[in-house]
């Protein structure tokens, strides 16, 4: 299956490839784990709103009822499949260090995630 992809840079200089999907998205099964970056496009650029990791389908389903994501107009989810929890945590930390706009109040990521 072909997906549009995007590269998100981390603070450490590493780029991470993500699949881009419009919300709502039902492409992932219950066992798929990875990193979700909820975003919106503004003036031709993506803006990170929420970055988290876990079971992809659960994160996307939860996002459908998240008032903050609705208020911030999240229109897409960018997904990177990653099995290992330690690797997911490192990716999220690296991305949040670079994309501080994802933190509250500008974004929806709680400060405790950083």
**Domains in the chain: boundaries:** 4-95
Q: How far apart are CA 38 and CA 42, in angstroms?
A: 13
> What pLDDT is stored for residue 63 in this prediction?
87
- Reduced to 3 states (helix: H, G, I; strand: E, B; else coil), residue 63 is helix
Give the other-Cβ count within 10 Å of 10's Cβ: 18
Per-residue three-class SS string for 77-105 = EEEEECCCHHHHHHHHHHHHHHCHHHECC
Per-residue pLDDT of the chain (114 residues; tens, 9 = 90+): 567 999 999 998 999 999 999 999 999 998 999 999 999 998 999 999 999 999 999 999 998 888 999 999 999 999 999 999 999 999 999 999 999 999 999 999 998 765
Q: Please give the model's pTM, rounded to 2 decimal places.
A: 0.93
């Amino acid at each position: 299956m072909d997906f549009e992809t995007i590269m998100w840079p981390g603070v450490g200089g590493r780029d991470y490839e993500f699949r881009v999907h419009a919300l709502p998205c039902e492409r992932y099964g219950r066992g798929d784990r990875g990193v979700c970056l909820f975003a919106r496009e503004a003036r031709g650029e993506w803006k990170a709103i929420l970055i988290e990791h876990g079971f992809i389908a659960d994160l996307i389903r939860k996002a459908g009822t998240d008032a903050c994501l609705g208020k911030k107009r999240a229109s897409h989810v960018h997904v990177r499949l990653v099995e290992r929890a330690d690797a997911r945590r490192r990716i999220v930390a690296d991305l949040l260090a670079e994309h501080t706009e994802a933190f509250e109040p500008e974004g929806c990521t709680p400060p405790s995630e950083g």
